[in-house]
Amino acid sequence: MDSYNASGAVAGMSLVDLLQQSRKLVNQLGRDSDLPPIQLGIDQIESQSRKLVSKSARGAHPAADARAHYLLASGGIDAAQLANTIQSTDIANTFEPLQPVYDTDVEGYVRHEHEQVILSLIEESRQQTLADFQHELHRSLHRDWQNQKRRILEELGQHRSEGSESVLSRSVSAAPRESSRGDSSSSMAQMQSRMLRYDSVVQRINEARAGAQPLAVARAFLDTVESFAQEPARKRSLMDAWRIILNLVDEPSGVREREFAQTYLDAHAFHGPQGVSLRQRWIRGARVYLEDQFAEYMEQVITANPLQAQRGGVPSTRATVAAFLRVHLRTAGGAWASGLAPAMDSLSQTPLWAGVYYALRIGRHDDALALLQENQGVLRADSAFPAVFKVWLDGGHVLPRQMREQLMGEYLARFRNAPLDSLDPYQYALYRIVGGFDTSKRFPPALVATTESWLWLQLNLVREGEGESYTLNDLANKIEKYGAAHFDPSGARLLHYFQILLLVGRFERAISHLYANSSMQVDAVHFAICLVYYGLLRVPAADAASQFDIYTSGVDATGAPTAWFDFSKLVQRYTRLFVHTSRRDALQYISLIALNADAPAPIGAEQVQRCHELVRGLVLDARAPGFVELLGDVRADGVRTGGLIEANRNLLHIGDTAEYLDKIVRAAAVQCEQERRTGEAIVLYNLVGEFGTVVAVLNRELGASLMEPVDLKDFEAPVSNAGPATLSAVSSVVTLARAVLVAYEHQLSSVSGSVRVCQTLLGLKKAASQYAAGQLAPALQTLESLQVLPLDAEARKDVVSITRRADEFKEYDENVAKNCADIALMAMTILYKLHQELKSSVHRTGAGALLEYRSQARALMMWAGMLRFRMSNETYSQLTRLDVYVSTSVFANLIH
C-alpha cells in the first residue's frame, strides 16, 4: 500500500516538483560530496531525454537488409564501423552555446542569438562574394576575349578589319579586292596614295638625319597632307592636327632633332625647372594655335556678313574686332546684347570689354592693350586695369604677387558673389584670365560655346611653376576624365579628341586614341614619327612593355603617373604592309626606332637593340633574292659590295663594319642555320667572311639529309663560278655544295679538312641517290672510290687493313660518322642484291664476281663489328643476316 502511494505520488509529480526535490537532495549531500550539482534547466532536461529516447529507438531497429553489408564489404568498406561512426556523430549541438543558457538568463540568450546572426551573415556574405567573383570573372573573360583575339591576330599579321578604310588589313602593293561596296577600290587607292606621300617625308627625315641637318618635320607632313585628295573636312582636321604640333614645338623658330628628349624623357628633369619651361612652351603654342584658328573663324563671319559687319576699308585689328562684334553681339533690331557693360570704344562705338576680349582671343595682345589705354577715361571703376593688363602681358601672363592680391581684392568685391547673368561676361573673363582666379568655376555660357573656346580659357588660367594650384597636368587630367564621348558625343569628328589631347601635352594618349581607329592608323604612325623625332614620345622599358598593347600607363621614377607608347611595335606592325614589296621603305621606317637611342638607361640601349632585331627580321623575311639589295654581295674575286643596311649604318646606330657584320649579318646567319635555311645561311656567313663556317653549314646539311636521294643530274650539271648570293637561290643542296666549292676554290686553302669532309659527304649522297635509282653497280663503285668502307682490294686484304679503315672512320667528321649505320646497311644491301642478281643470271660466268661480293661482305661485316657501339642492335642484326645470305650459298638458294 505504501509502495503504491509512493509510486502514485511519483507518477503524479510534475517536472517542476522533480526539480525542486533534486535540488533539496543536492543540498542535503553537502558541499563535500563528489556528485556534481545539477545545472540544467527544464527545457534542457527535456531535450536530453528526447535524445536518449531516439538513441534507444535507433538501437532497437538494426539494419534489415544484410545484402547492403555484403555489397559494401566487397568494395572494402566496413559497414558496421561506418554505422557506429555515423551514430556517434552528433551535429545537433553544433550551434548550441558552449555554456548552458538558463531559462531566466535573458541576456545570455540574446547574446547567443546575436552571435548566431553574425555567423549566419558572415556565411551568407562569403557565399555571395564567391558567387559575385565567379560571375564577374565570367563576364570579364567574355568581355576581353574579342579584344585579346584581335590583338593576337594583329600581332601575327593576320588582322582583317571589316571597315572599308582598314589600313592594316592589306598590303600596299596588293590590288584592291572585289567588293559589293562601290567605294572600296577608291578607299584603297586613297590609302595607298597617303602611304606613298608620307613615305617621301620619311625619306627626307632620314636624309636630314644622315647629313646632321635640321628638318621642319611637322611642316613637311603638313605640306604633304595638303596635297591629299580626300574628304575636305577630314583633310582639314588632319592639317589642323599638324598645325598644333607645329605650334607646340614652335617649329618656325628652328627646332633640332630630339631637342626635347633630354627634358621630356627624363622623369626628374620633366618635373624640375626644365620641365616647367617646356610646359610653358606648350601652353604658349597651344594658345597661339587656338588664337589663329579663331582669327580665321572671325574672318569667315565677317566675310559672310559684310553689310552687318561694316568693317570699312582698313582691315586693322581694331576694325576687324569691331566688325565681328557688330555681327556677333547685335540683335536683329540693331541693339547690343543685354548684359554688356556700358563702356564703349570711342572710335568704333562697340562694347569695350568685348573688344578687348576678342582682340586677346585672336592673339593681338598689343592691340588689346592699346584699346584699353585709349579708352582709359571711360573705364572709371576699372581705371587701374590697363596698367595691370600691361604688367600681365610683359610678365609672360603672370602677375607679381602683390599686384595679383590687389586685383583679387577688387575681383572678390565686384564679381565673386554677383550672379553671372548680371555681369558683363567679357569683363568678368578678363579679370579671371589676368588674375588666374576661380580655376574650377564655370565661365558664362556665351564664352564657351565651343570646345576650343573653353580650352583657350582654361589654358589662360593654367600656371606652371612651384606652388601653382592649377597646372597643365591638372587640365589634362580633367580632359581625360571627361573622355572622348564628352567632347564628341556623335563620334563624327574622328580627330577632335586627338587634337585636344595634343593641346594639353598628352602625346602618348593622343596617338593611342587615334591609332585605335582603323581608318586613321596610317596617320597615327606618322604623327608618332614626328613626336619621336622631336623627343616627345615616351617609350616603355622592355620589362614594362605589354605583349600586345601599344599604350601602357604607370608611374615614373619620381612616382608621378605617366604613360608610354611602344613606338617599335607600331613601326613593326606598319611595315608588315609593304615589307615584301619594298624592303627599302621598310628599312627607312625601322631606322627611325634608333632615334630613341638617347632615352634614359636602359631604354635607349633596348630601343637600339629592338631596331637591330627588326632589321634582322627584315633580312630574314627578304630571303636570298633580297639579300643583295639589303646586305650587298661578295663577288667571285672576293670583293664585297655594300647594301642598304650598311649604307644606313649611322641611322641604325651601328658603329663600324665589324659591328654591322656581327650584330646584323652573323646574327641573321645563325638564325637561318637554326631554321635549316641553308642557302640563306651560306650567303650571310659568306658576307661575314667566315668561309669555313659556310662549308661547315653545308656539311651539317648534307649530313642531316645524307640518305635522302636527289636527282642524279645534280651531280653532273655544270656549275658556274658565280657569287654565293646568286647560288643561294639554288634549291638543291648538292648543286649548292658543288657551286660553293667551286666559288671558294681559292679561299678555302685554310679549311681543307672541311672541304674533304664536304667532298666525302657529296660522294656518299651520290651513292645513296644511285642506290635509290636502282643503279647498284655504280653505287658500289662510288662507295669503293670514297675509301670510307673496306670495299676496295687494298682495304680488305687482311684484318690489319680492315682495322685501320675502322680506326680512320672513328676520326671522321661527326656529319659522316653519325650516318655509320645507314652507310653500312646500304653497302651490304647493294652487295646482297648484286650477289642475288648474279646468282640468278642465266649466264653462269660470274663466279669471280660472286667471290668478290662475298669478300667485300665479310670485310664490311668485320668493319661493322669494330664499330659495333655506333649501331643499334636491329641494324647490326640486319647486317649479319645479309652477310649470311651473301656468304652462304644454302641460305642464298633458300631465299631465291
**The pLDDT of residue 891 is above 80:** no
563 forms beta bridges with 553
C-alpha to C-alpha distances, 607 to 569, 613, 731, 752, nearest whole angstrom: 11, 10, 37, 42
Distance CA 208, CA 770 (A): 61
Listed in order, strand segments (DSSP E) in 556-706 are 561-565, 633-634, 640-641
By the 8 A CB rule, do 256 and 233 touch? Answer: no
Range name among 99-113, 279-293, 664-678, 684-698 with the lowest pLDDT average: 99-113
Residue 551, beta-bridge partner list: 565
Residue linked to cell 602681358: 393
pLDDT at 42: 65
Neighbours of 77 (CB within 10 A): 11
Is 303 contained in some domain?
A: yes
Region 444-452: mean pLDDT is 94
In contact, 511 and 532? CB cutoff 8 Å: no
**For the residues 821-843, what does the mean pLDDT come to?**
85
What is the average per-residue pLDDT within 852-877? 88
pTM of the model: 0.74
The confidence band for 742, taking pLDDT boundaries of 50, 70 and 90, is confident
- pLDDT for 829 beyond 90: yes
Does residue 660 form part of some domain? no
Q: How many CB atoms lie within 10 A of CB 47?
A: 14
- Residues belonging to the chain: 896
Q: Give the end of a domain, one of 437, 470, 503.
A: 470
Given pLDDT bands bounded at 50, 70 and 90, which one contains residue 102? low
Q: Which is more confident, 656 or 727?
A: 656
**Phi, psi at 74, each rounded to 5°:** -65, -25
Is 1 contained in some domain?
A: no
Q: What is the 3-state secondary structure (H, E, C) of 353-393?
A: HHHHHHHHHCCCHHHHHHHHHHCHHHCHHHCCHHHHHHHHH
* Lowest mean pLDDT, pick from 77-91, 137-151, 211-225: 137-151
How large is the C-alpha radius of gyration of the chain? 47
Residue 376: closest CA among 358, 394, 397, 352? 352
Question: Between these two residues, 809 and 639, which has the higher pLDDT value?
Answer: 809
Pairwise CA distance, residues 696 & 703, whole Å: 10
pLDDT at 9: 43
Average confidence (pLDDT) over 218-228: 94
In this prediction, residues 289-308 reach a mean pLDDT of: 96
Task: Determine contact, residues 826/707, Cβ cutoff 8 Å.
Answer: yes
Instruction: Please state the rounded mean pLDDT for residues 237-260.
Output: 96
Distance in Å from the first CA to the final CA of the chain: 125
Q: For the ranges 144-153, 400-409, 728-737, which has the lowest average pLDDT? A: 144-153
Residue 516 lies in a domain: no
For 831-842, letters b (16+ CB in 10 Å) and e give bbbbbbebbeee
Q: Does the structure show a pLDDT above 60 at 288?
A: yes
175-190 burial, b at 16+ Cβ within 10 Å, e below that, comes to: eeeeeeeeeeeebbeb
Within 10 angstroms of residue 200's Cβ, the number of other Cβ atoms is 11
pLDDT of residue 447: 95
- Give the dihedral sign, CA 245/250/254/256: negative
Whether residue 866 lies inside any domain: the answer is yes
Residue 721 DSSP label: -
Q: State how far the Cα of 219 lies from the Cα of 393, in Å rounded to an integer.
A: 29
**Contact call for residues 431 and 411 (beta carbons, < 8 A):** yes
More confident residue, 170 or 534: 534
Say which range, 19-33, 276-290, 387-401, 439-453, has the weakest mean pLDDT.
19-33
Q: Looking at the 3D structure of the chain, how many domains does it have?
A: 2
- Core vs surface per residue 540-579: b (16+ CB within 10 A) or e: beeeebeeeebbbeeebeeeeebbbbbbbbbbbbbbbbbb
Element (H, E) at 555: strand 551-555
Give the per-residue pLDDT at 143.
Answer: 64
What pLDDT is stored for residue 184 in this prediction?
Answer: 58
> How many other β-carbons are positioned within 10 Å of the β-carbon of residue 416?
11
Residue 765 has pLDDT above 50, yes or no: yes
> Among 152, 28, 47, which Cα is nearest to 93's?
47
Q: How far apart are CA 783 and CA 763, in angstroms?
A: 8
| Residue 426 included in any domain | yes
Residue with the bigger pLDDT between 729 and 682: it is: 682
CA distance 626 to 587: 13
Angle value at C-alpha 391, between 382 and 296, nearest 5 degrees: 85
pLDDT single digits (tens) 24-74: 665 655 555 555 555 666 667 777 777 776 665 554 444 446 677 777 777
Please give the helix or strand (H or E) that residue 126 lies within, else none: helix 106-155
Q: Is the pLDDT of residue 333 over 90?
A: no
Is pLDDT at 703 greater than 50 in this prediction? yes
Q: Which three cell numbers stand for residue 724?
A: 654565293
Lowest mean pLDDT segment, chosen from 3-12, 486-495, 763-772: 3-12
The range of the structural domain enclosing residue 808 comes to 785-896
599-646 tens-digit pLDDT:
999 999 999 999 999 999 999 888 766 788 898 876 656 677 788 999
Poorest-confidence range of 67-76, 372-381, 407-416, 821-830?
67-76
Beta carbons within 10 angstroms of residue 217's beta carbon: 27
Please tell me which of 162-171, 645-654, 795-804 the model is most confident about, judged by mean pLDDT.
645-654
Q: Report the pLDDT value the prediction gives residue 355, as an integer from 0 to 100.
A: 97
Which among 712, 749, 755 is positioned nearest to 734, based on CA atoms? 712
* Long-range contact pairs involving 246-249 (C-beta distance under 8 Å, separation at least 24): 246/216, 246/218, 246/219, 246/222, 247/285, 247/286, 247/288, 247/289, 247/292, 248/281, 248/282, 248/285, 248/286, 248/289, 248/502, 248/503, 248/505, 249/218, 249/281, 249/285, 249/534, 249/536
pLDDT at 114: 84
Residue 185 lies in a domain: no
Cell numbers for 582: 619594298
Bond preceding residue 602 cis, omega within 30 of 0:
yes
The span from the CA of 412 to the CA of 422, in Å, is 15
Per residue in 724-734, pLDDT (tens digit) is: 555 555 667 88
Mean pLDDT of the 331-337 span: 88
Tens-digit pLDDT profile for residues 364-394:
999 999 999 999 989 988 899 999 999 999 9
Enumerate the H helices of 540-582 as residue ranges. Answer: 567-575
Residue 307: alpha-carbon gap to chain centroid:
59
Pick from 300-309, 749-758, 810-819: least confident: 749-758
Last residue of a domain, one of 470, 500, 525: 470
Q: Could you please report the per-residue DSSP string of 493-526?
A: -TTHHHHHHHHTT-HHHHHHHHHTSGGGHHHHHH
Contact (Cβ atoms closer than 8 angstroms) between residue 605 and residue 591: no
Q: Does 862 fall in a domain? A: yes
Higher pLDDT, 417 or 399: 399
Please state which of the ranges 20-29, 576-585, 632-641, 853-862 shows the lowest mean pLDDT.
Answer: 20-29
Q: What pLDDT is stored for residue 867 in this prediction?
A: 86
Higher local confidence (pLDDT), 100 or 382: 382
Only one residue has cell 554688356, namely: 340
The residue out of 413, 444, 470 marking a domain boundary is 470
| 616, 631 contact by CB (below 8 A) | no
> What's the CA gap between 431 and 748, in Å, rounded?
87
Helix (H) or strand (E) holding 4: helix 2-12
Share of the chain above pLDDT 70, in %: 82
